[in-house]
Amino acid sequence: MTAPMPENLVSALLAGEKFLIFTHLRPDGDAIGSAFGMRSFLNDIGKKADVVLPTDPPARYLKFGLECLRSADPANYDTVIALDCATRDRIADGGAMALLTSEERFFNLDHHFTNNVQASVWNYVDSKASSASEIAAKIALSSGRKMSPHTARFFLAGMMTDTGGFKFSNTTGDVLRTAALLLDHGANLEELVNILFFSKPENQLRFESELISKQIRRNCSGRFAYAFIPQEMLDKYDFSLKEDEGLIDLLREIDGVVIAMLVHRQSDGFKVSLRSKDPRYPVAPVAAAFGGGGHLMAAGATLKCDSFEEVEKLLLEKIAKVLED
């Protein structure tokens, strides 16, 4: 069971009239689903609501017809919501958000147990929820107010992406019951499956093919699979890591693999993404050891190393210990 919502959270949230909604940098499906689902729901019930996305979202989500702002002044709104933001430094337009954490009308709604945003009053973090979209959907459903098919579509999309199409261990009976209610409100499952899982562009498929055939390494008796993504490979296929959602699952799908890792270079170091498919071998402690965070089974960190070889050595040491336990 998920954690109960704080008393009066829904009524306090809906007391607002002008809402500004933030999510995290490089938004994924849950960030998009929760933020735009909440915006759509608030619009359904006659409220003004805007979403801030400083950069373009992944291409697949453009099919949802996203209307957003690049930036906004929180002073023009009476209520601010942060959705799916695990840490302050990952909040899109985090500078503005840092000023709001002490405000009574700031709502922090998330499902990462590592959340450190710490709103002063309305800080609801349910680490047992599958996604921020599930939390947002439950707020909308429990309000007893109108929910359009457009709103239900966003919430269900976010839940589907963070559960891997209801394949991951965060798929509980409660998650499926919430999904069923969203279908009852008009979300189209077939449409979402096609957009989210069956619409990859050809350049991405070619990129993935080379990743699998040339970049994968295995260690720890084959139970640890990992790959480094070089910049020249991204250039070769004109592939942006903004579109990398689900990419690590190509490694996790390999028979015998327990922990998967993808690494790529960015301006401040090497970004490491980790996934486990066995709860006996969680990856959150590994990410935390390098200042990162996330979930027990899905986490990440940025390592300030000089080379991938250095990253590889550090992670192999940590992962080997996890797999030995």
Tell me the per-residue pLDDT of 98-139, one tens digit each, with 9 for 90 and over.
Answer: 777 778 899 999 999 888 888 888 999 999 999 999 999 999
Same domain, 226 and 95: no
Same domain, 83 and 139: yes
Domain range spanning residue 153?
9-197
Domain harbouring 279, CATH code: 3.10.310.30
97, pLDDT greater than 80: no
What average pLDDT does the segment 184-212 reach?
Answer: 97
**What is the pLDDT at residue 288?**
94
Same domain, 130 and 177: yes
pLDDT band at 64, cuts 50/70/90? Answer: very high
Same domain, 131 and 234: no
Buried b (16+ CB within 10 A) or exposed e, 86-113: bbbebbbbbebbeebbeeebbbbbbbbe
Same domain, 44 and 132: yes
Question: In percent, how much of the chain has pLDDT > 90?
Answer: 84
**What is the pLDDT at residue 2?**
66
Same domain, 95 and 185: yes
216: nearest Cα among 257, 275, 276: 257
**What is the pLDDT at residue 248?**
97
**What is the pLDDT at residue 63?**
92
What average pLDDT does the segment 17-24 reach?
Answer: 96
Supply the mean pLDDT for the chain: 94
Buried b (16+ CB within 10 A) or exposed e, 262-297: bbbbeeeebbbbbbbeeeebbbbebbeebebbbbbb
For residue 123, is it within any domain? Answer: yes
CA distance 264 to 258: 21
Domain boundary among 197, 232, 249: 197
Number of structural domains (the chain) is 2
149, pLDDT greater than 70: yes
User: Which residue type, as a one-letter code, is found at position 125?
Assistant: V
Domain harbouring 157, CATH code: 3.90.1640.10
**What is the pLDDT at residue 137?**
98
Same domain, 234 and 265: yes
For residue 15, is it within any domain? Answer: yes
For residue 28, is it within any domain? Answer: yes
CA distance 56 to 82: 18
What average pLDDT does the segment 293-302 reach?
Answer: 92
Same domain, 189 and 208: no
The model's pTM is 0.91
Domain boundary among 147, 169, 197: 197
233, pLDDT greater than 70: yes
Pairwise pLDDT comparison (224 vs 7), residue with the higher score: 224
What average pLDDT does the segment 35-47 reach?
Answer: 98
Pairwise pLDDT comparison (95 vs 41), residue with the higher score: 41
